Amino acid sequence: MKLNVMRRVLLSITAAAILTLTASSAFAVDPRNVVIAPYWQAAGSDYTFIAVSHPSLTGMASQIGVRVTALDLSAASFATAVSFTVDAGSTQRLFILQTGASISTVATSAPTTAHNMIGSSGTGGNLRITPVATAPLTTQSANVGAGKRDITQLSFWGAIVISSVNGFAVEFIGDTHDSTTRGVQTSHTAN
């Protein structure tokens, strides 16, 4: 048990160090229509799983195209970028695996809503998720699924699965363009 705790602590420290080193390249994108994950991992039987759901919010197009690029620690592509379309009310899944990973048989036998990104070099880095649409913030006409093809309105979640210690959640950051603070907060003391 102590060994598992030590592994988790070491993994957390490693992840924090990688986040620090890759943050500058992860944030060097236009924040209005990009979603990033500051860390992914794929080595041996470890892999990253991502799910992208379309919550069918008012103002969203019925189909939104997504392109996922996994960058390694040197900001080079881990594998060929994967593009897919998320339909209203559905979920698409993505497995990021290293060539020869034992999990690849599970990922390849998954339903058609699963996509694989398989690379042979690098074991971690950050993800850049961009829209397939050339004007994602423009409202589309009714004949092409009225609404915006804005990927920041999709729901992203994921996990890095580490067979020896179960793994941890993936954080996604998006729609930071219009995020604002609510002003300076002051502390109040009770009388």
pLDDT in tens, 9-52: 555 555 554 544 444 444 445 567 788 888 888 888 888 999 99
57 part of a folded domain:
yes
Instruction: Work out the average pLDDT over 58-73.
Output: 89
Region at 10 (left for phi over 0; alpha for psi -120 to 50; beta for the rest): alpha
**Whole-model pTM over 0.75:** no
Please indicate, yes or no, if residue 190 is contained in any of the structural domains.
Answer: no
Residues in Cβ contact with 28 at an 8 Å cutoff, skipping those fewer than 6 apart: none
- The count of other CB atoms within 10 Å of the CB of residue 97 is 25
With respect to residue 188, please indicate whether it lies within any of the assigned structural domains.
no
Query: Residue 191: pLDDT above 60?
Result: no
What is the distance between the alpha carbons of residues 112 and 102, in angstroms, rounded to a whole number?
20
What are the structure tokens assigned to 87, written together?
């339909």
pLDDT digits (tens, 9 = 90+) for 125-171: 989 999 888 777 777 776 556 788 888 889 999 998 887 777 787 87
* Residue 112, Cβ density class (10 Å: 0-12 exposed, 13-18 middle, ≥19 buried): exposed
Domain of 70 in residue numbering reads as 2-174
47 within domain boundaries: yes
| Domain tally, the chain | 1
Residue 191 lies in a domain: no
Residue 181 within a domain: no
